[in-house]
């Protein structure tokens, strides 16, 4: 691979009489052979990294392909060619291992939200084009255009491990539901309706006498798998709840499990500077289609963390029962009573729950950043 000689623009400027003397630059502490900054846009894959490089304000160079280890050595060489190296890649299944390695090596690395880089609808997608679009967006972002990229907050390793535990529990719960429904469907083909938690020992003993032998043999395999999965869910739940704050520090209706799920998905409440940012992250804000003199708002935009959104809505339903003095609930009490009496608009109770879930996120942000207390928000401790 050819090595490009990178020159500092200061080293090529001319005075009215002659070129600037190289020795004068060295005395001034400027290294004339180095660029100010090298931008790297990386399209990350399991066995190769596709990289596009942009030096200072020049046009992006053609994309290059490296193996994972070869890429790390190549980045180390870039550190010698510029005063600063800035890199970015899209968040994906490979986590933050590459980010942490580059940060330790002295490279400023950003992890950004994945998006469709084919903005002009050309229907051509290649790794090289994505890397080029990434490096162009990175250069604009570092020059002050904060909307050029959507930067992802990288969790600390300990926080990432806690979040992995709550997400793994979610996967186990989904698997329990999937297997239970599959077994119930097989029984329905024979005119039998399995009850709730049919795989538990007492319920299974009753069903064993009613099921045909061939069907009981099939369901017995599912039963054993469901029992193992349920033990896994219980073990994960116990580990998660052990990390929760004392009950007097969280509101009544927000259990230890829900609190940990919400906190692990947010990562760091201190990264939000206002309540608008908190609401936007949840994806519980109304969508909008406005043009000219017309303005129309629709359902929630769902542009945010779906796991956080689910946990907040579930918690809001519980707080509606357990927190009658909650200030946000008092603001919508008349609408809620109207909906409960059946005189409200269809679906109005669900809309109120979504509104309260959005407000709950803001209240939790205030609690976790010390901007308010439970008493100031009208919340009773658990």
Residues 77-104: tens digit of each pLDDT? 999 999 999 999 999 999 999 999 999 9
pTM reported for the whole predicted model: 0.84
Residues 283-340: tens digit of each pLDDT? 999 898 888 888 888 889 998 899 999 999 999 999 999 999 999 999 999 988 888 8
Transcribe 7-43 into DSSP letters: --HHHH-B-SSSBPPHHHHHHTT--TTSBS-EEEEEE
Residue 285: per-residue pLDDT: 92
What is d(CA 281, CA 364) in angstroms, rounded to the nearest whole number? 13
Burial class (CB in 10 A: 0-12, 13-18, 19+), 239: middle
Residue 368 has pLDDT above 50, yes or no: yes
Which residues, 6+ apart, have CB-to-CB distance to 359 below 8 Å? 328
Position 62 confidence tier, pLDDT thresholds 50, 70, 90: very high
Residue 32: per-residue pLDDT: 59
From edge to edge, which strands make up the β-sheet containing 108-112? 64-66, 49-55, 38-44, 85-90, 108-112
Residue 211: per-residue pLDDT: 92
DSSP-derived 3-state class of residue 239: helix
Position 345 confidence tier, pLDDT thresholds 50, 70, 90: confident
Output the CA torsion 224→226→231→237 (10° steps). 180
Listed residue (281, 280, 301) closest to 289, CA to CA: 301
What is d(CA 222, CA 235) in angstroms, rounded to the nearest whole number? 20
Cβ-based neighbour number of residue 129 at 10 Å? 17
Residue 58 has pLDDT above 90, yes or no: yes
Residue 348 has pLDDT above 90, yes or no: no
Position 31 confidence tier, pLDDT thresholds 50, 70, 90: low
Residues 181-210: tens digit of each pLDDT? 999 999 999 999 998 899 999 999 999 989
Residue 182: per-residue pLDDT: 94
Percent of the chain surpassing pLDDT 70: 92
Residue 249 has pLDDT above 80, yes or no: yes
Which residues, 6+ apart, have CB-to-CB distance to 100 below 8 Å? 157
């Amino acid at each position: 691979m050819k090595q490009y000689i990178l020159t500092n623009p200061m080293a090529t400027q001319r005075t009215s009489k002659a070129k600037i003397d190289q020795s004068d630059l060295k005395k001034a502490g400027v290294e004339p052979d180095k660029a100010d900054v090298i931008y790297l846009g990386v399209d990350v894959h399991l066995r190769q990294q596709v990289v596009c490089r942009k030096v200072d304000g020049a046009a992006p160079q053609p994309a290059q392909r490296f193996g994972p280890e070869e890429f790390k050595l190549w980045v180390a060489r870039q550190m010698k060619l510029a005063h600063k190296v800035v890199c970015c890649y899209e968040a994906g299944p490979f986590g933050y291992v590459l980010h942490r390695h580059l940060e330790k090596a002295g490279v400023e690395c950003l992890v950004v939200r994945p998006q469709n880089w084919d903005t002009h609808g050309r229907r051509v997608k290649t790794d090289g084009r994505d890397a080029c679009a990434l490096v162009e967006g990175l250069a604009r972002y570092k020059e002050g255009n904060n909307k050029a990229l959507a930067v992802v907050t990288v969790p600390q390793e300990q926080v990432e491990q806690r979040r992995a535990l709550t997400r793994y529990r979610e996967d186990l719960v989904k698997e329990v539901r999937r297997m239970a429904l599959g077994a119930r469907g097989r029984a329905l083909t024979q005119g039998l309706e399995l009850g709730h938690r049919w795989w538990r020992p007492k319920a299974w003993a009753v069903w064993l006498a009613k099921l045909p032998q061939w069907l009981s043999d099939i369901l017995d395999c599912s039963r054993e798998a469901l029992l193992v999965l349920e033990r896994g869910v219980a073990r994960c739940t116990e580990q998660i709840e052990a990390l929760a704050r004392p009950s007097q520090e969280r509101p009544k209706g927000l259990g230890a499990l829900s609190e940990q799920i919400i906190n692990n998905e947010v990562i760091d409440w201190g990264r939000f500077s206002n309540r608008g940012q908190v609401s936007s992250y949840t994806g519980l804000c109304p969508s909008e289609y406005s043009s000219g003199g017309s303005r129309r708002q629709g359902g929630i935009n769902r542009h945010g963390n779906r796991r956080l959104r689910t946990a907040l809505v579930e918690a809001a339903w519980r707080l509606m029962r357990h927190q009658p003095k909650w200030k946000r609930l008092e603001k919508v009490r008349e609408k809620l009573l109207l909906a409960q009496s059946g005189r409200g608009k269809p679906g109005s109770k669900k809309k109120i729950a979504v509104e309260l879930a959005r407000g709950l996120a803001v209240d939790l942000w205030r609690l976790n950043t010390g901007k308010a207390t439970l008493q100031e928000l009208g919340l009773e401790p658990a």
